[in-house]
Structure 1
Amino acid sequence: MKALVLTDTKKLELSEVAIPEPAPSEVLVSVKNCGICGTDLHIYHGDPGSAEVTPPVVLGHELAGEVVAIGAEVTQVKVGDRVAVDPNIYCGKCKYCRSGKVHLCSDLSAVGVTRNGGMGEYCTAPEANCYPLPDSMSYEQGAMVEPLSCVLHGFKKLTFRPNDRVFIVGGGFIGMLFLQLVRNYTTGSIVVSEINASKHEVLTQLGATEVVSQITSDLYSQFDVVIECVGKKVTIENAVKCAGKGAQVLLFGVPGPNEVVEIAPYEIFSKELSISGSFINPFTLDEAVKLLDKEVVNIEPLISHRIRLEEVEHVLENYPKLQVSKALITL
C-alpha cells in the first residue's frame, strides 16, 4: 500500500509498505479521507503531539474510512462498516483512567501519533475506537469527527447564559467550529478576532456578530466568555486581558512546549476569572457524529485545501503562506 512516512524532523517519504494485519481486537480500515491538523504540523517540525512521537511513523489522526477486515475478537464492528476513528487509546489501568479522566492517561497512545495513522491507504485501529457513520454522512464529514470531538470537550467546560458576550481569539478551523457551537447555544453577541481578512466574510456567515483584525485595548475586560484558539504568547495574554469580571477563559490553542506567557495574577484575582485548558476528546465522538450529520456544524466552508498524499509535505512546509484553514487528504 502507499503511505506517507515521517522518517525524521521535516522529512516525509511516500513509500510502498505492507498492508497491516489487525490484531484480534482491531479492525483494518481502508482510509477514504484524512485531515491535516495543527498537531501534525507540530510533529512535522519536531514537537510532540498528544504523546511523544518516534519516527518512522505514518501520521494522520483525523480519519474516516471503510472497515475491510476484522480481528478474531471483534464483535461490534463488521466488514463494510463506514467509520470515523478516535485516535486516542487509553491504558485503562492508571489512576486517571480508573477515575474517569481517561484523556489524561499516563500511558496514552494514539493512531497517527505513536502508531501508524491515516496518511496511508490502510490503517488499523482498536474496535473500541471506531464510531459508525450514518449513510447520510460523507467520509469528509467523518474525518472531521475527531477535531469536532476535541472542540466539544473544550466547549463543555464552559457555561453559557443567553446574553453572554463571547470573544473567540482566532478564526481559523478550530475557531470556526467553536463559533458554530456557540451560536447554536447562545443568543448573545460573538466577536471573533482573525488577522486574515479573507476569512472575515465566512466568519460572519457562520454567526459572528463582529469580526476584528486585531485585538485592541478597547476590547479589554469586555467579555463574559473568552475562547483562545491560536496558542501563541500574545493571543493567550490578550485573551486574559479581554476577559471581564467573573469571566470564563478557555485556553484551547496548542502552544509550543516551551512557550511561556506573562499574566498578572492580580488580574485573575481581581476579576475572579476561571481559566481552564482542554486536552483531546474524551466521550464526545458520538455527539460529534450527530452534530455533523444534522449539519448543526457545517464543515464545507472550513475546508480550504483538498489534496493527495503527494502534496502533504508541500502543505506542511508552506502552511502559513498557503493560508490553510483545513487541508483534507483524499486517498
Structure 2
Amino acid sequence: MSDADVTPRSATQPGAQHCAAVRVEAPGRHRLIEHEVPAPGPGEVLVEVAAAGVCGSDVELFEGRRPAPYVRYPIVPGHEWAGRIAAVGQGAEALPIGASVVAEGFRSCLTCARCRAGEPTLCTADYAETGFTHPGAFSRFLTVPSRLVHLLPAELPTGAELGDCALLEPAACVAAGLLAAQPRPGGRFTVLGTGTLSLLAVQMLAAYRPESLTVVGRGDQHFALAESFGATRCLRSGDAAGLAAVAGRADLVFEATGAAAMVPLSFELARRGATVLLEGIAGAGTVELDPDVFALKQLTVRGIFGAGPAAWSHAIDQLRIGVLDLPSLVSHRIPLADYARGMELLGNRPPELKKVLFVPA
C-alpha cells in the first residue's frame, strides 16, 4: 500500500498534518501539545476522535496513584472514546473509511495461556492498554490495532451522538460482569454506587424485568436518574434500617463504588447462594471480613478487570436495541484544551457530576 493510501482524510487539508493532544509528562504535570497525525501501520486504523470520556483511572494516572506496572510516562491518556475511521493500514482494508467505531483498550499478546483460554484482560505479557501504555484518545487522532475495533450501528438511538458512545467502554466492563453472572429474569438485584458503572448496570439489569432492583449510594443526587432507569428502591449507604430490610435478599449484587468499605456490605446484602460482582477498584484501604462468609453463604464472588470482545459486542447490542441510554449519563462536554478543568471536576466531584467527555478542537 502506498503512502497515499494511508493518508488520513483530515490530514489532506492545509495545516491539518498536526493535531492537538494532552500529554501527561509525569504525575501532576501535563501540557497541550501539537503532534504529527500518525499514519496507521500494518494491521492498524487511524481514528478521528469524536469524544473521549474521563475515568477515575485517568485521575489516578494524572496524580501518580496508578501502580507503576499499569502506566508509562509521558503518555497521552484516554481509553474511553468513540470516533470515525480516517485511514487504514495494510491488512485492515475491510474496515470502511468513515465508519463509526469504538475499540477495546487491552492490547493482549494473543499467545499466552490466558489469551489462548479466551481471557485477554488477564494477559500475562507486559501490560499494554490504550491511554496508559500506548497513546490514547485525549487527542484528535489515535491509532489502534484493527483487531480491537468494533463497528457501531449505522443508526444510533434517538438523542444519542457518536461522542456519547465513549461510554461503551464502561458499558462493556458492566457487560463482562453480567455475562459471567448470568442473571435470571425476575430476580432480585442490588447495585452499589451511583457512578457511571453502577448506573449502566441499573440500565442493563432493568432489562431482566427484576422483582426488585435496589440502588445503594452515599448521596441521593442520582437516585431520580436511577429510578428512571428502572430502580425500584434507592437507599443511602448510611441508612441502617433501610439496609437491614434488604440484607440477605439479593440474588445478584453489583459493586462499583471503588470504596473498600462497600465490599463487606456487598456480602451482607447477598442471599445465600448469590453472586457478587466486584467491579470497583478502591486503590487503598483495608476491610475486615469474616472468612467464613463465603462458605457459609456459598457465595460466588467474581472480580471484573476490563472487558473482552464478547462483552464489547454485548454492550453494543444493548445500545442498538435501546437498553442503554448514554446521553443521560453525561453531565459535561469540555474542550480538550480544558483538560485541567476536567481533572478538577473529577477531583472535587460536585453533586451534579456524571460522565465528563473531552471533545477535540
**Structure 2 counterpart of 1:308:** 335
- Inter-CA distance 306–56: structure 2 relative to 1 (3 Å threshold): same
RMSD: 1.8
Residue 62 of structure 1 contacts residue 146 of structure 1 at CA under 8 Å; is this kept in 2?
Answer: yes
**Structure 1 counterpart of 2:358:** 329
Match of 1:252 among 271, 279, 284: 279
Q: Does 2:29 align with 1:11?
A: yes
Letter in structure 1 aligned against 2:295 = F
- Inter-CA distance 68–162: structure 2 relative to 1 (3 Å threshold): closer
Q: Does 2:117 align with 1:90?
A: no
- For structure 1, the 5+ residue unaligned runs are none
Q: Does 2:138 align with 1:119?
A: yes
Residue 51 of structure 1 contacts residue 110 of structure 1 at CA under 8 Å; is this kept in 2?
Answer: no
**Structure 2 counterpart of 1:267:** 293
Greater mean alpha carbon deviation, residues 206-215 or residues 67-76: 67-76
Residue 292 of structure 1 contacts residue 298 of structure 1 at CA under 8 Å; is this kept in 2?
Answer: yes
Residue 7 of structure 1 contacts residue 57 of structure 1 at CA under 8 Å; is this kept in 2?
Answer: yes
Q: Does 2:263 align with 1:236?
A: yes
Is the partner of 2:215 in helix, strand or coil?
A: strand
Greater mean alpha carbon deviation, residues 188-197 or residues 50-59: 50-59
CA distance in 1 between counterparts of 2:207 and 2:136 reads 32
CA distance in 2 between counterparts of 1:248 and 1:296 reads 23
Residue 174 of structure 2 contacts residue 201 of structure 2 at CA under 8 Å; is this kept in 1?
Answer: yes
Letter in structure 2 aligned against 1:268 = F
User: Residues 59-95 of structure 1, C-alpha deviation per residue, up to 9 Å, x if partnerless?
Assistant: 0011111211211222321322221122211101111
Greater mean alpha carbon deviation, residues 203-212 or residues 142-151: 142-151
Residue 106 of structure 2 contacts residue 120 of structure 2 at CA under 8 Å; is this kept in 1?
Answer: no
- Inter-CA distance 6–69: structure 2 relative to 1 (3 Å threshold): same
Q: Does 2:161 align with 1:133?
A: no
Is the partner of 1:100 in helix, strand or coil?
A: coil
CA distance in 2 between counterparts of 1:198 and 1:146 reads 24
**Structure 1 counterpart of 2:189:** 166
User: Residues 116-162 of structure 1, C-alpha deviation per residue, up to 9 Å, x if partnerless?
Assistant: 01000110011111111223123123322221111100111213234
Cα displacement (A) at 1:220: 3.0
Cα displacement (A) at 1:314: 2.0
User: Residues 194-244 of structure 1, C-alpha deviation per residue, up to 9 Å, x if partnerless?
Assistant: 122221111111111011112525143232211111121111121112222
Is the partner of 2:73 in helix, strand or coil?
A: coil
Residue 168 of structure 1 contacts residue 226 of structure 1 at CA under 8 Å; is this kept in 2?
Answer: yes
- Inter-CA distance 128–49: structure 2 relative to 1 (3 Å threshold): farther
Residue 186 of structure 2 contacts residue 208 of structure 2 at CA under 8 Å; is this kept in 1?
Answer: no
Greater mean alpha carbon deviation, residues 180-189 or residues 282-291: 282-291
CA distance in 2 between counterparts of 1:125 and 1:251 reads 29
Query: TM-score by structure 2 length?
Result: 0.86
CA distance in 2 between counterparts of 1:311 and 1:164 reads 44
Is the partner of 1:57 in helix, strand or coil?
A: coil
Q: Does 2:88 align with 1:74?
A: no
Letter in structure 2 aligned against 1:275 = V
CA distance in 1 between counterparts of 2:356 and 2:148 reads 23
Asked which structure has the greater CA Rg, the reply is 2
CA distance in 1 between counterparts of 2:203 and 2:38 reads 38
**Structure 2 counterpart of 1:46:** 64
Residues 183-198 of structure 1 aligned to structure 2 (within 5 Å): 183-198=206-221
Is the partner of 1:28 in helix, strand or coil?
A: strand
- Inter-CA distance 141–51: structure 2 relative to 1 (3 Å threshold): farther
Cα displacement (A) at 1:51: 5.6
Match of 1:286 among 313, 320, 339: 313
**Structure 1 counterpart of 2:179:** 156
Is the partner of 1:110 in helix, strand or coil?
A: coil
CA distance in 2 between counterparts of 1:76 and 1:287 reads 22
CA distance in 1 between counterparts of 2:69 and 2:188 reads 35
CA distance in 1 between counterparts of 2:143 and 2:186 reads 46
CA distance in 1 between counterparts of 2:293 and 2:169 reads 35
CA distance in 1 between counterparts of 2:96 and 2:104 reads 17
**Structure 2 counterpart of 1:276:** 302
**Structure 1 counterpart of 2:16:** none
CA distance in 1 between counterparts of 2:41 and 2:213 reads 47
Match of 2:254 among 201, 209, 227: 227
Cα displacement (A) at 1:111: 1.2
Match of 2:202 among 154, 179, 196: 179
Residue 24 of structure 2 contacts residue 73 of structure 2 at CA under 8 Å; is this kept in 1?
Answer: yes
Residue 142 of structure 1 contacts residue 289 of structure 1 at CA under 8 Å; is this kept in 2?
Answer: no
User: Residues 227-268 of structure 1, C-alpha deviation per residue, up to 9 Å, x if partnerless?
Assistant: 111121111121112222112111111220x44332111222
**Structure 1 counterpart of 2:4:** none
- Inter-CA distance 161–78: structure 2 relative to 1 (3 Å threshold): closer
